Amino acid sequence: MRTNWAGGGRVFGYARGRRALVAGSALACVLETLTMSVLLRDWPPLDQVVPVLGLLAVASVAALHASSVARPHLLDPDTFALRLRRAARADVIVPLGHIASAERELRVARRRSDGELDLPVGFRTSVTLQLAEPVTHLTLLGRQREVHAVHFHADDAELAVATLQAQLRAVRRGRSVPSTCPGPPG
C-alpha cells in the first residue's frame, strides 16, 4: 500500500478506531446485496446489476479505510510542523511554534465551535492542541477557517502527546522555527 508521507518524520495512525465500523459497513453491504439478489431473482436484468453495485459499495468502504491508513498524522522535525489529516477530507499543517500546549483529552465530538477544528474518528478525539497563534484550515470546499484549537484522534494518544511535548521543548530551547506556515497542503 502506498503511504503519503516523506522522509524521517514521525507518523501517528488514527485508522485503528474505525476498523469495526468499516467491517460492519462492509458486512451490511454484502448482506444487502444478497438480500436484493433474492428479492429480484424474478427480474434477470436487475438481478445481474445488483451484485455489481454491491461489489462497488464494498470497494468504496474499503477505499475509505485505506485512505485513512495511507494518510496518517505526521510530525516532521525538518519543517518544524505537525501535519494533521483525516483521510482525504482534511489536511492541516500546524507549525510547532504555533502550538501553546498539547494534551491527551478524550472527547466526544460535538457541534463545531467557532475557531475549533475537530478531526474525530468514531465521533471521538483523543488529543487537544491549544494554539498560541491561529492556523488556517482549508475546508473540503476550499473555504478558509482560522482555528485556535485542534482536537484530533491518534491511535496511541499518549505516545503522540509525549512526542509532541518533547519536540515542543526542543523547539523552545533554542531552535529557530519558521514564522510562517508552509503553503497549503498538496
Mean pLDDT of 138-160: 90
Same domain, 79 and 144: yes
Same domain, 53 and 98: no
Residue 54: its pLDDT value, please?
A: 95
User: Is the distance from CB of 88 to CB of 70 less than 8 angstroms?
Assistant: no
What residue numbers bound the domain in which 46 lies? 11-70
User: pLDDT for 150-177, tens place per residue?
Assistant: 999 999 999 999 999 998 888 888 655 4
Domain boundary among 49, 70, 91: 70
User: Is residue 178 scored above 60 in pLDDT?
Assistant: no
Same domain, 56 and 15: yes
User: Is residue 180 scored above 60 in pLDDT?
Assistant: no
Same domain, 48 and 83: no
- Strands of the sheet containing 124-138, edge to edge, are 99-108, 124-138, 144-152, 116-119
- pTM, 2 dp: 0.78
Same domain, 62 and 103: no
Given its phi and psi angles, is residue 77 left (phi above 0), alpha (psi -120 to 50 degrees) or beta? Answer: alpha
Same domain, 46 and 126: no
Give me 161's grid cell: 502527546
User: pLDDT for 73-86, tens place per residue?
Assistant: 999 878 889 999 88
Higher pLDDT, 170 or 87: 170
Domain boundary among 48, 70, 92: 70
Domain boundary among 70, 93, 109: 70
Same domain, 52 and 88: no
User: pLDDT for 21-68, tens place per residue?
Assistant: 899 999 999 999 999 999 999 998 888 999 999 999 999 999 988 988
Determine the Cα angle at 101 with ends 81 and 186, to 5°: 25
